[in-house]
A and B are shown apart, each in its own frame.
Chain A
Amino acid sequence: MAAWRDAPELPDFSLLKRLARDQLIFLLEQLPGKKDLFIDADLMSPLDRIANVTILKQHEVDKLYKVELKPIVSSSDQLCFLIRPRIQTVKWISDLVNADKVAGRFRRYKIIFTPQKFYACETVLEEQGVYGDVTTDEWNFYILPLDDDILSLELPEFFRDNFLEGDQRWVTTAGSALHLLQSVYGSFSKVYGIGRCAKMVYESWRELMEEGEQRTRQPEFAKVFLVDRDVDFVTPLCSQVVYEGLVDDLFRIKCGSVEFGPDVTSSDKSIKVMLNSQDKVFSEIRNEHFSNVFGFLSQKAKNLQTAYDKRRGMDIQQMKAFVSDELKGLKQEHRLLSLHIGASESMMKKKTKQDFQELLKTEHSLLEGFEIRECITYIEEHINRQVSMIDSLRLLCLLSITENGLLSKDYRSLKAQYLQSYGIKHLLTFANLRQLGLLEEQQAGETLTVMESKVGKLVNDKTVGKLTDAFSSLAKKSNFRALSKRLALVPKSGEEYDLRVPRDMAYVFSGAYIPLSCKLIEQVLERDGWTGLEEVTRMLNGQEFAVTEARNKTDAQRIVLVMFLGGCTFSEISALRFLGKERGCRFIVVTTAITNSARLLEALLDNHA
């Protein structure tokens, strides 16, 4: 293991923004003259991060509209649509064009698909008889840098499309994103991965590599780890307790920015704040367990007061210097500090309530496999009281994954009560969760595993291995309990855990659990592959790989790119930052989107047909 050294510098990702902006400008110039621009709702924030209205206006964009799938009011002769490649949106555009035709109105139409177009969308244009009336283009805006070490594809639908629907439309997108990083920042020497999608993404990327010309420049990062979200569902289902994760759970961070409401700003208006390493206050607390944040903020407030107090007794010259050198910074800090204190206060109000404490206790018991009956009673009451529909679902899923499915009688009774409390249409939700393996009823065969583990104590290990093999083919099981034991994910209870001086990644869950995804990454990097982890990968249903691309030992070896396919949580990012500090390396997270328990589960609801 590498001795602790100064962490290496991270590459400059702002270049990616510039590339995306330049391509967009180029595409807008393909439609000369004044035009109105319609933007998909979920593209507005990403677009805001790389361009602004002035740039669009400079390229003759007249008015901007949000795509709402409703009739439009535009008097422009040229309409440009900047959209994700979705059939529904293309159908809407076709309807507009056809309505114009009926009204005898001539306009030019251009669709810019991002990050790429799909044949299914073009077929819609063809079928609706507007192919040719509408021109199409691609804006390859694959990656949005959210921070120094977070790159996002901003594709939340990746999760549902890939894992629930089994649609591989985004596989090549992820491959192209890696290819883009490689062509801008240099090639990688080692690639590790686990998961079915990870394997496909790697293959797709490799194909692109073989076609493209080989870059000889020094690589800026050399190791890549690809991981499927369904390798670890436990982590994103846990309540987040590090500051950034908690802010995301409570206020929903959108594209690196959060909107704090009146209860935080203590005024009558909401304020949008960017949350990233540029915010000096935030960058110091983002990875901290929330119980430490308040002490830190109050110390900071005292320091600030002292800095302001320096003014007293200054003469005019000193005052002038103070105003020009320090005041601006102090005020900025002052503003940020008030906001984060407001946010913490509002968090404390919600999170120190008895309810939240009990919720955490239940989560920890589930992770530990302790007092499961009590947990079930708690979940049942949670459902009966009709409190948070998503939290109830989250607890049910955690119970199911950690216990390898629910006993038949529990499953039926909890499902029935859930439907009574939150609506019978959630039948559809349960079907989705079952398909994904998130919430299952134990099959008759599976009860054997209980016996098998008992038998294991009597018979030698080899026999058990064979037994397990036989059964693992029956169903895809989470095997969480066994994995947790093998990888020591849950520290022994009863031990004191000082959250101010974390000793391992478990601190991101109050010392109760090390995120499985991050533990795997740690283990594979340490072993430089999967050797010695055979039992673990078998329990994770295999699909692991490790490939050596080239041999070049540079400082870049200490920068590791981790790609989460299907989303990554802020808790995992914090855990990786901690691991990086421990090991003297830096992690860069590439994710299809930032996720958390609510987003993950909401993606699986079927609220509308």
Chain B
Amino acid sequence: MIAMDLMHHSSCFLLPTIPLQRRPSLTYALLVLNQNLPRFTPLLWNHAQLHLCADGGANRLYDEMPLFFPQEDASDVRRRYKPDVIKGDMDSIRREVLEFYASLGTEIVDKSHDQDTTDLHKCVTYIRDSASGLDKSNLCVLVVGALGGRFDQEMGNLNVICRFSSMRIVLLSNDSLIHLLPRTYCHEIHIQTSVEGPHCGLIPIGTPSKSSTTTGLQWDLNNTAMEFGGLVSTSNIVKEEKVTVQSDCDLLWTISIKKL
């Protein structure tokens, strides 16, 4: 086995409170894109230091956050869940939503002249380069709304996490979470069994893998080759609380999120 640095992964952000760990804790940024909000969005919001909406994601926040708190006044909920930044093309956000958040102090960053990158790409770049007051040394970007909807957009969003392979970016939906396992590390994934699993997969999304090795899965890989058109590890099952993965190419790790 090649000696490589270890990269640890844990879906602590899905837990009500994030437990203290020996490793330095992560700073979370939450990015809301333009799909229905997953049911755990308020939980992610509470863990995040920075809250960003990409364009139409602001509509989702405005329309759907109050639905999670039906007992409360909608305006109170909207004020409490106010994004720090709204960024993007601004071709989807409704005028009254933009004005509402702008009046509350949300920073509006209009990038309508840049048509070459997706909203997710723009926002990840912004978080990486510009976001002030954010401890970026151990940053993890949580993204809701990147999956489902138009398939070409979903693939464009997967490509963003492949391109920003040195950043921790987690795509979340009601059903699944996805993040990259860069090939330059051995990976330890600490499974939070109260909120995720057991269904999982390892996806050689862009390049055939000549050799991947895992522990902790029902169908472990053992120097196994994977590629689209051949073997892709899907409908696998997490068997242990720690899963390890090592591969010669970047893989997408995906695990199901429990419906509680």
The reply to whether chain A is a binding partner of chain B is no
State the A residues within 8 Å of B (CB): none
